[in-house]
Structure formats: C-alpha cells, structure tokens
Structure 1
Amino acid sequence: MSGMYDQPPASDISPSGMKAYPVVSGVGAGRGRAADTVGFHNAGEQRSREMQVEIETIKLLRQDVVSCYRREGVNHYANCRKEVDKYVTAISDPDLLNPKQRQAKATAKGGE
C-alpha cells in the first residue's frame, strides 16, 4: 500500500534532445543585436527554453526528495541522502536564475 502514491524518480532527465541554436560571433560586428535580429530572437528563445528545462528539472528533483521522505519516514536522513544531494547541487548553482552571469560564463568558455 505504501507504493501506491510513489512516483517514479526523475533521475534520467536530460535536455539532450533539444536543438541548440548556435551563437555566431562576428556577425555584424559593432552594430549589436540590430545586425542579426533573427539570430538574436533565436538566442533569446533558446535561453528561455533552457531556463524552463532547468526549472522543471528542479521541480522534479524536489518531488523525488519529498516522495523519498514520505516513503522512508524517520530514516529519511540516511536513506534519502542521494536524492537530497542531487537537489542541493541543482539549486545551489549561483547563476541559475541570473541570465547575465550565465551569458558571461558562456562567453568566457567560448573565448578560451
């Protein structure tokens, strides 16, 4: 009866099926986003899709933690450590909801 309300874990979540729109450097240099309006629009849409995937992933990881706590009862400190560690790692990303930091980090990786 205890497994009746349990949901399967969301451990196998990966945005690998998403198509990433490439950022073309040097296109219309010096004119900003007006040089490539379609590319700018596609990049904005891609950022919003990535953010939505991250937010939904965090929601699913939190559901895993809650269901583990309910399933394990008083032993949840020892038995749910793996789920809690995944959740804490996901939410402790400092640039999760800050697109400016994310963009700076992406350009730093691309410039190396």
Structure 2
Amino acid sequence: MDESPVSIKASKTKKELTVEWKDGHHSVYPFWLLRAACPCATCRGGHENMSPEPDPKVFQHFREDSAENRLTRLEMVGQYAITFEWEDGHHFGIYTWHYLRALCPCNECRNSS
C-alpha cells in the first residue's frame, strides 16, 4: 500500500475530509473522527500513550457538532503529514500519511484491521 495522497479536499459544508491515495483508495473522514483521533500528546493523554496507529476506540465515539470539531484550516507538514486547526483553537496534532491511512473509516479498511 502506498501511503501517499494524490489529493486532499476539505468540505466545511459536509464536515468531512476526502483523501485520494496513490494506490487508488478513497478515504472520507468526518471532522469529528479526525478530532477524536488527534495524535497530539495532550489528546492522547501523554507521551507514554503515543503510537503510530490510531486508538480503535475513536471509531466508537461520535461527537456532536461543536467548535472542537469545526475545521478552520489545514496545512501540509512537509511531504509526510497534515495538521488541522479547529475552531476552538486546537492545532497540535500531526497526522502522518501512515496515521491518516490507518484511520480510514471505510468498511474495507475497518474489516482488515
């Protein structure tokens, strides 16, 4: 699997991020999931809980629309990751391509993990 995106599009109207991967796979991430899976040390509960894989529990906790999961902007981090800024001011998580691909919520990806 090639963990490089070909395109990344954020829709504030739909409240989702769409990524087309180099291998042809498409991932659609609701903003609430991206925020729930924030990989920063604060959201993960400290450095001892850091992992290159998302916590499987994030898929079980839908979050209602709020300032914490309304995207204000996204920014590339070199050639290896993306970061988000949320309406509540949070902007610390760096989502590597590997992490983002492992976070794909589609049935195909969830059933293979």
- Quick check: TM above 0.5? no
Structure with greater Cα Rg: 1
Q: TM-score range by the shorter chain?
A: under 0.3
By percentage of residues, which structure has more strand? 2
TM-score by length of 2: 0.21
TM, length-normalised to structure 1: 0.21
